[in-house]
Structure 1
Amino acid sequence: MRALHVCAELYPLLKTGGLADVTGALPAALAPLGVDSRVLLPGFPAIRAGVEDQQPVAEIGPRFGTDAIRLLRGRLPGSGIPAYVIDAPQLYDRPGNPYSDAGNRAYVDNDRRFALLGWVAAWLADGHDADWRPQVVHGHDWHAGMSMAYLKQREHQRGRRLAGTLFTVHNLAYQGVFDGASFPMLGLPGYFFDLYGLEYHGQVSFMKAGLFYADKLSTVSPTYAREIQQPEQGCGLDGLLASRAGDLHGILNGVDPAIWSPATDTLLPANYDADHLGGKADCKRALQREFGLQEREDALLFTVVSRLTEQKGLRLVLGGLEEMIRRGGQLALLGSGDPDMEAAFREAAARQPDAIAVRIGYDEALSHRLIAGADVILVPSRFEPCGLTQLYGLAYGTLPLVHRVGGLADSVVDSSLENLAEDAATGFVFDRFAQEAYDGALRRAFALFSRPNDRYRVQRCAMRQHFDWNAAARQYLDLYRQIAVPV
């Protein structure tokens, strides 16, 4: 089975969020199951610098406003997975993150930049690498949505199937919607710009292209698959998704134990496991020291490792800070995003420097130390397709406090009396997205940590959960088998 993963970012080369963790782990997880995976990536500076042994495959010629496009092939560091890199400096060789400039302004030609990514995916499926041709094209999020449309166009031209297609929604809120005037630039027949196509209220939607033209659809948790078929979380595409319910599958993301395991994590000041938790106390002391917090073993230490956006529900955290500190808690935060939210957390830290510490930005190594050293990780998202930070928290015995939504609902079991009695509890879950509901979960966290025996039982139960990639990879392979073009 040969599968081409089409994506805009991939850990450890380039990461802005959980998408990169998935695309970095899934191809390698599929390899033991007999899947010959390759990835296709835009030639962003970090990608060009990180992919090893790059060799030219083909000169593509002028496309999408650039006249110097080459396709290169190399290998991902560590896994050795083959990687295609689109070398188009006029479109990709820029500062900032993959989608916006240093001022966080979206690049005005993102339609061209990611149309090229989709076009090259279809070009490969059409057999233009003589050494390898995919049976399945697997597109990840809106950046890869056009690969489904371009592949359909080529199939119409050839009069036969070229590859099976799977499109995975990692976050429906980000859709890649562009002005309808950009459609002629895409080079598609006019009938693609239609309600039954990629037209979206007179605009062009790359996300809708993926959802409409792919053979199968998936998203990153079973609960989110149900939620996005309803208006509240369907982001205007719930009707299309409901019409394709039979093709839509929710597959919970995994965690790579080679990267996220407190027993072997070299980024921690001390290692530990579910049966030997002493090292976690060492990590907590080191974290309090690093962040300038009062070094108190009895302080319940909360952490946030997150983008600071409305989606993440962090205004509930701000609203609950006074109660958290009154009860003797502490907060260590790492994140960036909304300027007003950044300022609010900074002001809180200035008022209570012994109890609240804030680092604006992102630091992969620091995120490991935060998750290992804290007692509770806060993930009170308004919506959450899957979430990975709560899975990291479970693996490190840092109990997640979450809103019962999306993948958070699928992965965390509340520390209610009945769940404690059945030794099933792994964290704290609140049902309504409201301050009083969040505050109730916060009180349950303090109540549990006041009972050390129960606390250690819940921590051990959390650490014994298995959210590795094996189960997810088997589910993806089952979908591949349903859609793959025969050899």
Structure 2
Amino acid sequence: MKIVMVSSEVVPFAKTGGLGDVLGALPKTLAKLGHEVTVLLPLYRSIDFSGYNLVANDWEEKVTIDSKNFNLKYSKIKEPKLPLEYIFLENDSLFDRKALYVDPETGADYNDNDDRFIFFNKAVLKFLISKDYAPDILHVHDWQAALVPVFTKLCFADHELFRNCKTVMTIHNLAFQGMYENSKFGKLGLEEELFYPTSPFEFYGKVNFIKASITYSDAVTTVSQQYAQEIQTNEFGCGLDGVLKQHADKLYGILNGVDYSIWSPSRDKKIPFKFIRANLSGKKMNKIELLNELGLPIREKTPLIGIISRLTDQKGFDLLEFIIDDVMKENLQIVLLGTGDEKYHRFFKDVESRYPDKCRSLLKFDDTLAHKIEAASDMFLMPSYYEPCGLNQMYSLKYGTVPIVRKVGGLADTVKDYNDQTKEGTGFVFENYTAQELLSTIKRAIETYQNRRNWLKIMKQGMNEDYSWKQSALKYVELYNKLR
């Protein structure tokens, strides 16, 4: 199959969150399965091409937005030994900037993000047509690429290149929809009659890229089966639950995968001591090493709870605020790594100052430290209000770091609650979004930790789980074949 992937983020070139990780792994996995994969993304100033053979060329086109012409060039990188190519679409006036979406000078979104990503979507199709490239599948990701299926259906439905092409749009987080004032609709270059109350484009008087894409894509996927159900409810649908229920027949949940060449304790190049399921001595040594590095005392029967997260309400830290003193009374230590809302920066620094022998709050992002925390911690806390997929709970399982999670989104799909009667399960799960339920679940985990035999069984059951990208990629291939 000829598969074209379109995204604003692709690891290792551009990333602000999990979207980039997915686009770093899924195309490679599909290529390893024998499919011809082309990935298109903007050429941002921040991309470091060191070590890559970036090939530029003399090709140049124009993309028109609201009667204004923008130059379009491209460069490419061919992945060695795989049928995989990365195409970087270039316009300096739109993408030669310090950051991807947010102006570092103001802390607000660039005020022309609509122009930037309308250009990107049109440029994708302009490139494919000019190169006479006919994909079997056009798979786009999130609002920044959501207009590609819309333009394909409304402008190029009869074009020979797209006559047999099927479009897939993946929602990684429905909270981000690409919404702009209705005066911006004209920039799309579509008939004005397409914008009216309740139309596929209109959302409370604004233009909504994701809503339009849900309507015009041949299939809509999201990043876990549970999240696919949740976004059809008023609580998690972000105002689009009615539209998603209307198109439920083409809505699928496919879990993101983990790149075990990077996130596996037996292969991890960023941890001091590697270990395997059959011999966990390296995990204990990693814990001692990290505690020493952080200046925390080593306590034999005290579990270390790791947290690696954006510090926002979505991640459940408002619950933790309510119960933090009760939590810190327990026999535990906590290490947090992450940045986010200033109120949570203050909160976690305060916890560290009041409990200096039990907590370290590392308010930054450090990839090496993230690996060390996963490898060293006994438990991993993710009490999210909503979590489309989540990756850290899957990393944690592979490292024998037992997750404490809320039964929501991808957390519900990947972590099985421990049953003390049957001794089955891979973590500790609470259902209702209340501080008391979170507290009782943390206490249950700490109590279980004291029984070494039971705890080892939980660890090993988690390490045995397989959430590799190959499993996810095969499900996408199954969907692609179903559409064709």
Normalised by the size of structure 2, how large is the TM-score? Answer: 0.94
Q: Is 2:46–2:97's contact at 8 Å kept on the other side of the alignment? A: no
- Alpha-carbon RMSD: 2.0
The reply to whether residue 311 of structure 1 matches residue 314 of structure 2 is yes
**Which residue, 186, 189, 192 being the options, matches 2:188?**
186
Instruction: Sort the Cα spacing of 1:74 and 1:407 in 2 relative to 1 into closer, same or farther, 3 A.
Output: same
Distance in 1 (CA, whole Å) between partners of 2:32 and 2:251 is 25
The aligned counterpart of 1:425 is 425
The answer to whether the 8 A contact 2:405-2:430 is kept is: yes
Distance change in 2, residues 1:265/1:66 (3 Å): farther
Q: Secondary structure of 2:167's match?
A: strand
Structure 1 position 75 matched with structure 2 position 78: yes
Per-residue CA distance 1:221-266 (angstroms, 9 max, x = gap): 1111111111111111011110111101111111111111100101
The C-alpha deviation readout for 1:103-150, integer Å capped at 9, x for no partner, is 53111111111112211222244x3214x4322110111111111112
Partner of 2:153: 152
Cα distance in 1, alignment partners of residues 324 and 405 from structure 2: 16
Query: Cα offset for 1:278?
Result: 0.6
How far apart, CA to CA, are the structure 2 residues paired with 1:84 and 1:419? 52
Query: What is the CA–CA distance in structure 1 between the aligned matches of 2:413 and 2:58, rounded to whole Å?
Result: 43
1:393 alignment counterpart: 396
For 1:39-50, list aligned pairs within 5 A: 39-47=39-47, 49=49
CA deviations 1:421-453 (Å, max 9, x no partner) are xxx311110010000110111011111111111
Letter in 1 for 2:47: I
- TM-score normalized by the length of structure 1: 0.94
CA shift, 1:165, in A, is 0.1
- Whether the aligned pair in 2 keeps the contact of 1:95 and 1:101 (CA below 8 Å) is yes
CA contact (8 A) 2:101 2:109 kept: no
Deviations 1:323-373 (A, max 9, x none): 232122111111111111111111211222221111122122211111111
Counterpart amino acid of residue 273 in structure 2: A
The correspondence of residues 178-327 of structure 1 with structure 2, limited to 5 A, is 178-194=180-196, 195-327=198-330
- Alpha-carbon distance in structure 1 between the residues aligned to 2:363 and 2:11: 21
Any conservation in 1 of the 2:10–2:20 contact (CA below 8 Å)?
A: yes
The aligned counterpart of 2:473 is 473
Aligned partners of 2:82 and 2:343: how far apart in 1? 40
Distance 2:432 2:146 in 1: 33
How far the C-alpha of 1:301 sits from its partner, in A, is: 0.7
Are the aligned partners of 1:57 and 1:129 in contact in 2 as well (CA < 8 Å)?
no
- Unaligned 5+ runs, structure 1: none
Distance 1:154 1:407 in 2: 36
Work out the CA distance in 2 between the residues paired with 1:310 and 1:94: 29
1:311–1:457 distance in 2 versus 1, CA, 3 Å = same
What is the deviation of 1:99? 4.2
What amino acid is the match of 1:376? M
Mean Cα displacement is larger for which, 378-387 or 310-319? 310-319
Q: Deviations over 1:175-234 (max 9, x none)?
A: 111111111122222233243322211111111122111001111111111111111111
Query: Residue type matched to 2:155 in 1?
Result: R
In the alignment, residue 202 of structure 1 is paired with which amino acid?
Answer: G
Further displaced range: 284-293 or 440-449: 284-293
Q: Describe the shift of the 1:85–1:48 C-alpha distance in structure 2 as closer, same or farther (beyond 3 A).
A: farther
Aligned equivalents of 2:296 and 2:106: distance in 1? 32
Tell me the residue number matched to 1:364. 367
Report the alpha carbon displacement of residue 10 of structure 1 after superposing the two structures with TM. 1.6
Secondary structure in 1 matching 2:421: helix
Q: Is the contact between residue 192 and residue 199 of structure 1 (CA under 8 Å) also seen in structure 2?
A: no
Deviations 1:77-102 (A, max 9, x none): 89783111111111111113444435
Q: 1:456 to 1:79 in 2, by over 3 A?
A: farther
Distance 1:367 1:77, change over 3 A: farther
Percent identical pairs in the alignment equals: 35
Q: What is the identity, as a one-letter code, of the residue corresponding to 1:351? A: R
User: Equivalent residues in 2 for 1:453-472 (5 A)?
Assistant: 453-472=453-472
Partners of 2:92 and 2:81 in 1: CA distance: 26
Residue 168 of structure 2 corresponds to which residue in structure 1?
166
1:25 aligns with 2:25: yes
Select 2:95's aligned residue among 92, 110, 115. Answer: 92
SS of the equivalent of 2:479 reads helix
Deviation larger for 19-28 or 475-484: 475-484
Q: Is the 8 A contact 1:3 1:134 kept in 2?
A: yes
Tell whether 2:346 aligns with 1:343: yes
Pair 1:353–1:54, CA change in 2 (3 A):
farther
SS at match of 1:418: coil
Number of matched pairs:
479
Give, in whole Å, the separation in 2 of the partners of 1:467 and 1:146. 30
After TM superposition, give the deviation of residue 155 of structure 1 in Å: 2.2
Contact 2:381 2:404 in 1 (8 A): yes
Distance in 1 (CA, whole Å) between partners of 2:80 and 2:330 is 46
Q: 1:416 aligns with which of 403, 419, 441?
A: 419
Contact 1:124 1:133 in 2 (8 A): no
Q: How far apart are the structure 2 equivalents of 1:362 and 1:81?
A: 30
Quick one: distance in 2 between partners of 1:79 and 1:378?
A: 38
Aligned match of 2:5:
5
The answer to whether the 8 A contact 2:31-2:84 is kept is no
Moved more, 448-457 or 288-297: 288-297
SS at match of 2:70: coil
| Unmatched segments (≥5 aa) in structure 2 | none
Q: Larger deviation: 96-105 or 314-323?
A: 96-105
- Contact 1:196/1:212, CA 8 A, preserved across alignment: no
Pair 138,102 (structure 1): closer, same or farther in 2 beyond 3 Å:
farther
Aligned partners of 2:341, 2:63: CA distance in 1, in Å? 38
Native 8 Å contact 1:314 1:380 kept in 2: yes
Partner of 1:49, secondary structure, is coil
Hey, what's the Cα distance between the residues in 2 that align with 1:100 and 1:451? Answer: 51
